[in-house]
Amino acid sequence: MLKVSNVTAGYGRTVILQDVSIEVGRGEVVTIIGANGAGKTTLLRAISGLVKPSAGRITFDGTDIAGMAPADIVGRGLIQVPEARQLFPVMSVRDNVLMGAYHPAARAGADRRFAEVLDLFPRIGERLDQLAGSLSGGEQQMVAIARGLMANPKLLMLDEPSLGLAPIIVQQMFGIVDRICEMGTTVLLVEQKAFHALKIAHRAYVIENGRIAIENTGAGLLADPHIKTAYLGI
Ligand code: ATP
């Protein structure tokens, strides 16, 4: 579904990603783990069209999307839920969620998806008229994912959805990501909280200093001695 081939990208003259190749198949949860500054967000931004690769190819459903405008990439169903949520704090929860269906490609079926999203996140349904900025961190994360789902994603890219959440909420969050995949949306997940993210992953990559260092199944990485010491603290 998504194929990133030998991508090099960065900011100005600073090269961050070097010769990065990953694949995401339809129906998979694929996880990318890596330390602070390894280049995880930059990789998602390159896929979303927010950072232009200086080399390599990115294809989505067989179309080359590298260099395409971000809005056109969104219109194809490749949706990024950004790190730290980036909601509109003085707008209501309802308007934040509905904003996800702003792109013309997402307007058909928006009412049905809104009902599905409220079913997935009952807590959001109880707080539709509250200002998004007054929600707890976990609730804001749910709104950000709900907004992403309103965009009618074929592939949903989640950038550190567990950031700043209490352990019990982190567990719930990954349960929801698992359910989103079961409901038919492919997921590319970027995380520092490696244990949970690898547990729900069909396949996973480790990114170190802008390069893909290891590729394996989620279970394979959980059992890998290097991953255990470097990323799981075991
Ligand atoms: P984290 O887990 O801390 O979010 P990350 O793996 O997502 O890290 P990136 O956000 O991709 O890492 O950052 C990779 C490198 O790119 C970092 O050294 C960062 O300082 C640099 N960087 C990120 N955004 C910019 C920018 N707009 N301009 C210049 N450098 C940037």
Q: What is the pLDDT of residues 207-225, one digit of tens each?
A: 999 999 999 999 999 999 9
Residue 35 has pLDDT above 80, yes or no: yes
Is the minimum distance from the CB of 206 to ligand 1 under 6 angstroms?
A: no
129 CA → ligand 1 middle, Å: 35
Question: What is the per-residue pLDDT for 3?
Answer: 98
Q: What is the pLDDT of residues 110-141, one digit of tens each?
A: 899 999 999 999 999 999 999 999 998 889 99
Q: What is the DSSP letter of 71?
A: H
ipTM: 0.93
Residue 12 has pLDDT above 80, yes or no: yes
> What would the DSSP string read from start to end of 130-160?
SBGGGS-HHHHHHHHHHHHHHT--SEEEEE-
Is the minimum distance from the CB of 34 to ligand 1 under 6 angstroms?
A: yes
Torsion angles phi and psi, residue 216, rounded to 5: -165, 180
Which residue among 13, 31, 40 is best mutated to probe the pocket of ligand 1, counting the most ligand atoms within 8 A of its Cβ?
40
- Mean residue pLDDT of the chain comes to 93
Distance (Å, whole) CA 62 – CA 10: 24
120 CA → ligand 1 middle, Å: 32
Closest CA to 49 of 76, 71, 17, 25: 71
Question: Would the pTM count as exceeding 0.90?
Answer: yes
Average confidence (pLDDT) over 175-190:
94
16 CA → ligand 1 middle, Å: 8
Is the minimum distance from the CB of 100 to ligand 1 under 6 angstroms?
A: no
Is the minimum distance from the CB of 74 to ligand 1 under 6 angstroms?
A: no
Distance (Å, whole) CA 120 – CA 220: 30
Question: What is the per-residue pLDDT for 156?
Answer: 97
39 CA → ligand 1 middle, Å: 6
